[in-house]
């Protein structure tokens, strides 16, 4: 049954939030609205000013959490603006919020992301949902670890995930048999979470940090990919300041989106 939810989110950019490379299951429609999945919930979402209008099968509490309405982004931006190199990214990408995504989906998504481009990442995830998820109105849910753990490498061939297929299987098997416990990582420090995640075949520090930031909402996680290496070399040659540790996940997302949006204005 369709439910209507309206959220008021100040200084928010739905478009930047959904297209900045933290999630891969939303599509922009010609009218500027978005349709896609948050976890197993299909939704249509439209922003108008500070208002966000959502049509879905779930309630406001879910969406307030998903769009991270309890985190004070203005305070974080104010702290980060202490650093000169953060000011323009805050101006240009400061409407992004760190979505509270499903940890298992984030793990798979960022395994798939390695040495890959965003359009193709979306394609692989889409095929994965269609092949192994559940059909629901609007599309397919993200497949459970249990479902993927029952697959062979040949079963994953239609996804065309390349060398990442074997990594997905190892992740699914470890989560399914309890060698990796996602609920435990949720209650752990970022450092402990990284140590647990990188045991998975094909998960290194960068993917682990993405999972911790996007799947576990650990705001001190700091994924460094090829783009962030450029940012750091250019603006933070001594590394990202330690004093800003608790905000560096948000900072990373602003910096990442800004260099990708304005590579010639860095």
Interface residues with DNA (CB under 7 A) are 20-22, 110, 113-121, 123, 157, 160-163, 198, 201-208, 210, 223-228, 252-253, 256
Q: Are strands 41-48 and 139-140 parallel, antiparallel or unpaired?
A: unpaired
Q: Which residues have CB under 8 Å from 151's CB, separation 6+?
A: 132, 169, 172
Q: Give DSSP secondary structure letters for 117-161.
A: -HHHHHHHHHHHHHHHS-EETTEEPPPPHHHHHT--TTTTGGG--
4 CA to centre of own chain: 24
Q: Min. distance of Cβ 242 from DNA in angstroms?
A: 19
Which among 74, 99, 78 is positioned nearest to 16, based on CA atoms? 99
Q: Which of 206, 229, 245, 246 is catalytic?
A: 206
Q: Which residues pair with 47 in a beta bridge?
A: 52
Q: Residue 101 has what DSSP assignment?
A: -
Partnered with residue 5 across adjacent β-strands are 54
The whole-angstrom distance between residue 191's C-alpha and the CA centroid of its chain comes to: 19
Cβ closer to DNA: 60 or 198?
Answer: 198
Beta bridge partners, 56, equal 3, 43
Report in angstroms how near the CB of residue 81 gets to DNA at its nearest.
21
- Compute the least distance from the CB of residue 221 to DNA, in Å: 9
Annotation marks residue 77 as catalytic: no
CB of residue 60 vs DNA: minimum separation in angstroms? 26
Shortest spacing between CB 59 and DNA, in angstroms = 28
If the CB atoms of residues 9 and 112 are measured against DNA, the closer one turns out to be: 112
Q: Least distance from C-beta 162 to DNA, angstroms?
A: 3
| 254 touches 94 (CB < 8 A) | yes
Closest CA to 41 of 124, 129, 138, 109: 138
* Secondary structure (H, E, C), 153-199: CCCCHHHCCCCHHHHHHHHHHHHHHCCCCHHHHHCCCHHHHHHHHCC
Specify the residue, 43 or 200, whose C-beta has the smaller distance to DNA: 200
Residues annotated catalytic, as ranges: 206
């Amino acid at each position: 049954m369709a439910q209507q939810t309206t959220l008021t989110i100040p200084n928010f950019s739905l478009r930047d939030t959904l297209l900045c490379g933290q999630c891969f299951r939303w599509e922009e429609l010609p009218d500027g609205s978005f349709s896609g999945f948050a976890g197993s919930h299909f939704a249509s979402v439209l922003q108008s000013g500070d208002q966000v209008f959502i049509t879905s099968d779930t309630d406001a509490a879910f969406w307030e959490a998903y769009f991270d309405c309890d985190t004070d982004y203005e305070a974080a931006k104010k702290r980060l603006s202490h650093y000169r190199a953060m000011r323009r990214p805050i101006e240009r990408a400061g409407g992004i919020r760190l979505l509270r995504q499903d940890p298992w989906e984030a793990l798979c998504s960022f395994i798939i992301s390695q040495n890959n481009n965003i359009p193709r990442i979306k394609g692989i995830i889409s095929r994965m949902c269609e092949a192994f998820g559940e059909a629901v109105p609007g599309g397919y849910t993200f497949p459970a670890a249990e479902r993927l753990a029952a697959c062979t490498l040949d079963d994953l061939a239609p996804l065309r995930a390349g060398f990442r297929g074997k990594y997905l299987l190892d992740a699914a098997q470890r989560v399914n048999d309890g060698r990796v416990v996602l609920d435990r990582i949720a209650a752990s420090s970022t450092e402990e979470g990284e140590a647990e995640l990188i045991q998975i075949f094909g998960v290194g520090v960068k993917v682990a940090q993405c999972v911790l930031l996007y799947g576990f909402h650990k705001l001190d996680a700091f994924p460094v990919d090829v783009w962030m290496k450029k940012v750091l070399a250019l603006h933070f040659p001594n590394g990202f300041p330690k004093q800003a540790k608790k905000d560096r996940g948000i900072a990373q997302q602003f910096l990442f989106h800004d260099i990708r949006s304005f590579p010639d204005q860095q």
